[in-house]
Each structure stands twice: as C-alpha cells, then as structure tokens.
Amino acid sequence: MNMFTPSDTRINRRQALKIGGLTVSVAALVAACGEDVQGDTAPGRVGYAPPVTDPPEYAVDDAVLLRTASSLEYTAIEVYGAAAELADLDASTQTLVAQLVDNHQAIADEMGALTEAAGGVAWECTNPWLDNRLIAPLVEAIKASDNPARDVLNFAVAFENLAASTHQVLSVQLTDDAAKSATLAAAMLASRHSAAIVVLTRGADGYISPALYGDGVPTDPDGVPYNFAVTDRFGSVGQAELIVGAADVNGKRTSFLLQTPAENSFVYNELEPSC
Amino acid sequence: MTPKGHSLVDLESAEHATSRRSIISALGVAGLASAITLAGAKTASAAPFSPTADDRATLEQALQLELTASRLYADALAAGLTGSAAEVAQAFGGNHRTYADQFAAITGISANTYNTAAYDARKNDFATSDVTQFATAAWELENSSAATYADLFDGFEAEQSQTVVASIVVVNARMATVLADLAGVSDDLDLLFDPPSEIITLTEQP
C-alpha cells in the first residue's frame, strides 16, 4: 500500500483555495447588498496627513478670461525680452521682434480696457502660472543649449501659436460681443506673427506643413522639428510640444508641452498682481 | 496600554453616517432639483450648440464663399503655376474645399454652389501663371475672407458656428502671410500684420 496516496475524503490545496475564494466573494456580495449599513462612507486615511481642504470656488467670468488674455500678452512681451538676451538676433529679426512686442502691447492694452468694461480690474502682469512652470524652465534650458538661436525662434513661434490658440478659444467662451471680436482679431494677429517668423526665417521651405496631408513633420539634423507657417487645415487648440536645450548623453533634448490656459492658469479676479 | 501618539489609521467618522438608502434618496432629490435649476438657467442664458436657422442661412453663404475660393485656386493651377506657388495653390484650395465640407457637415446643406459675384470679380486675377499676380490676388482673397468672417462672427448664435469660423479665420491669416511672402511684400511689416481687406458681399438666399 502506498502510504502517500491521497485519500478521496480529504480536501487538497486546490479545493481549499476554491472554497476560500467562494466564501470571500459571497461575503463581499452580501456585505455590499446589505441595507442600512452604518458608518463612515469616506475612505480611511493613513498617516498624519492634514484634513483635505477643498480649493476655493472662484467665478470664471468675462473679466477673468480677459485678464488671462492680458497676462498672456505680457508674457509674450517677456518672452521676446528674454529672446533678445539669449541669442544674437540679426537686424531684420530684431526689427520683427520690435514690431511683435508693439503688437502684443497694443493687444494687452485693448484687453485691459475690455476687462474694465466688463467690471474687472485690468491685469498688467505676466501670467504667474506660465511664468513659474513654463517660461522660467524654458529659459534655463535654452541657456544651456548648443543652438540658442534656433531654440529662441522655436520658442517664439510656439508662444505665438499658444497665444493664437488661446484667443481663438476665448473668442467663443466670452459673452460680450466687443470682447469676442477683439479676441478673434488677436487670434488672427498672433497667427500672422507665428507665420511671419517662420516665413522670414525659413522662406518657402516653411510655408506648408506636411501634416496637412497626414505626413509627419520633418526634423533638423539634431532631431528638432521644423516650424511651418500653415500647420493645420483648422486652427488647432490642442497642446503643442516644444523641444529645446542641449542634448543629453542619449541625444535627447528637453521637451515642454504648451497648453491653452485653463482653470489652473486663469487670472481670477481674486488674484493680486504679481508685478 | 498607554497610547503612543496618533493612530496611523484614521478610523473616526468625518461626520455622522446615515444609511445607504437614505443617502441615495437624498441625492436623488438634490439631483432632480439641480437638473431643474440648470435646465432653467440654460434656457435663460446659454448659447445653443448646433447652428440655429439664422446661423444656417449665413453659413450657407459662407459655404459658397469657400467653394468660390477653392475654384479660384483650381483656376490658378490650371493656368500653369509651378513650384512653390503651385504647392501653395494646391494646399490652400484644398483648405477651402475642406471648410466648405465642414460648413456642409454642421448645417446639412449640400456643398455644390459658389458665389458667382465673388468669383467673377477675381477669376481673371487668379487665372495666371505669374506668381506675383496670383499671390497678390490670393493674398487679397484670404485677408478679405478673414475680414468677412470677423464681421459675421458676433452674429452667430450657436457655439458650433463660432467654433468652426474661429478655427478657419486663424488659418486665413496664416495663409495670407505665406501669400504676402510669395507676392514679395513680407518685408513691409505694416502690410504683413495690418493688411488691406474688404468685406466680401455674400450671396443672398431666396
């Protein structure tokens, strides 16, 4: 007789697992379907974390949207100021940049007047959220770049695209007719800015993106995508990627995502000026 | 045993709990009340999403303008444009055809009629293989199309009408900048950023 032959009356490991699993499942089902369960329905907290506080609920009205538009224009002016320090721009590019700064200041002034007409206080500073999370790290990356002139131009194009997208969105979101028209005009002007920078630096090679035909966007020998004046068939409001800075040991450069302002970057009426 | 500081697990209720059934009942009533409130607010202030009847009438005219532009670029290609100018005419004509299709899609109107007056006024300028003549005519068309849409913009009632038109005018502006370069006027920054334009008369619908 084999002493190690399992007996039919004993429960083997597989059967034990089946029975155990079934028991737990039925218990969970019964508990879930039970009525009049008492106790806290909030999930338990682990550790000494302070109680969760809800963020304040600030209204998003026309004044907030216009203050945000103003903040973007002042940020653009700051971007061009930084660009002039980061790279040696030729005379024609300097002339273009001076014109772009004048145009952004004019839009900022108009947005400020519209803000006050909407009952708000005009915002005359850069956008704090963009400053901290985008502009400052971008400038640092460009300072370390092996090709700051290229990065500065790409930065300017990307920021004009961001301004165009933002004003395009705002033109639909705003309720006041004058504000809607002004932001639509600003969207067109920022689009002209972006296209002009590309056309004046790349010529006919930069006219039309292959993306219009569903093809990929070509890159330069360093792997940085080329810019184009006409990037899409319709004005895009999606996020855009900007690659700048020096390559690391793997040949990769720093990538930044530019997104149109939203709840986290709006300049609320409650926000105090930062300049 | 003496407790040593706070427990690592917070087992105290944040507030007095009630039964699941009573919570669901309360939420149901609150939700219904909120829905009624929001429905009332929407009818009072929110813009409709889809084009209204008035929007559709205007968008039909815009559709005809886009088909006109597409036809003009096709004329330029047929006249023998080559090189960068031909690539531009091909791409921009395609853009305008796409815009016509987009207007047709949101209005349900067939994209098959163009604005004869706008076409006749420009057809001779477009039917050329001369790059400067073509680019100048197309630059004027893009700037005037953008100005026309900007003029119409406030009149659109629906969010979708405004969204589509806004997404087109920004590309009109980009195309105009390319055409300014092709026409040889991109060194003039005043012309580049504040170009001359005229509002195009749209075809009245019967």
- Band the pLDDT of B114: cuts 50, 70, 90: very high
- For chain B, give the percent of residues with pLDDT over 70: 77
* A253 assigned to some structural domain: yes
pLDDT tens-digit series, residues A128-181: 999 999 999 999 999 999 999 999 999 999 999 999 999 999 999 999 999 999
* pLDDT reported for residue B35: 39
* pLDDT reported for residue B203: 78
CB of A274 within 8 A of CB of A123? no
CATH number at residue A239: 1.20.1260.10
* pLDDT reported for residue A148: 93
- Band the pLDDT of A9: cuts 50, 70, 90: low
Residue A55 is encoded by which pair of tokens? Answer: 């963020």
Work out the widest C-alpha separation in chain A, in whole angstroms. Answer: 102
- Band the pLDDT of A15: cuts 50, 70, 90: confident
* pLDDT reported for residue A49: 76
* A107 assigned to some structural domain: yes
* A183 assigned to some structural domain: yes
Q: Which of A31-45, A136-150, A199-213, B108-122 has the lowest mean pLDDT?
A: A31-45
Check if A257 contacts B (Cβ < 8 Å): no
Residues in chain A closer than 8 A to B150 (CB atoms): 181, 184-185, 188
pLDDT tens-digit series, residues B150-186: 999 999 999 999 999 999 999 999 999 999 999 999 9
Interface of A with B in 178-217 (CB under 8 A): 180-181, 184-185, 187-189, 191-196, 199-200, 203-204, 207-208, 212
* pLDDT reported for residue A3: 46
**Distance (Å, whole) CA B151 – CA B147:** 6
Residues in chain B closer than 8 A to A184 (CB atoms): 150, 153, 166, 169
**Helix axes B159-183 and A148-173, enclosed angle (nearest 10):** 140
Under an 8 A CB cutoff, do A230 and B13 touch?
no
Residue A122: domain span:
62-258
Alpha carbon of A135: minimum distance to chain B alpha carbons (Å): 25
pLDDT tens-digit series, residues A91-136: 999 999 999 999 999 999 999 999 999 999 999 999 999 999 999 9
Residues contacting residue A216 through CB under 8 Å, at least 6 positions apart: A210
- Band the pLDDT of A30: cuts 50, 70, 90: low
CB of A245 within 8 A of CB of A254? yes
Residues contacting residue B87 through CB under 8 Å, at least 6 positions apart: A207, A208
| CA B103 vs CA A173, B66, B98: distances in Å | 20, 9, 9
Closest to B156 (Cα-Cα) out of A113, A184, A107:
A184
Residues in chain A closer than 8 A to B13 (CB atoms): 39-40, 42
Total number of domains constituting chain A: 1
* A44 assigned to some structural domain: no
Rounded to two decimals, what is the model's pTM?
0.80
* A97 assigned to some structural domain: yes
* A223 assigned to some structural domain: yes
| pLDDT of residue B11 exceeding 80 | no
Average pLDDT score over chain B = 83
Residue A25 is encoded by which pair of tokens? Answer: 């499942």
**Distance (Å, whole) CA A90 – CA B185:** 20
Q: Which of A112-121, B8-17, B41-50 has the lowest mean pLDDT?
A: B8-17
| pLDDT of residue B34 exceeding 70 | no
CB of A222 within 8 A of CB of A147? yes
| pLDDT of residue A55 exceeding 80 | no
* pLDDT reported for residue A266: 97
pLDDT tens-digit series, residues B61-94: 999 999 999 999 999 999 999 999 999 999 999 9
Mean pLDDT value across residues A48-54: 79
Amino acid identity for residue A29 in this structure: L
pLDDT tens-digit series, residues A210-268: 999 999 999 999 999 999 999 999 999 999 999 999 999 998 999 999 999 999 999 99
Residues in chain A closer than 8 A to B196 (CB atoms): none
* pLDDT reported for residue A28: 63
Residue A7 is encoded by which pair of tokens? Answer: 């007996």
Asked whether the ipTM of the predicted complex exceeds the cut of 0.95, the reply is no
Mean pLDDT value across residues A184-199: 98
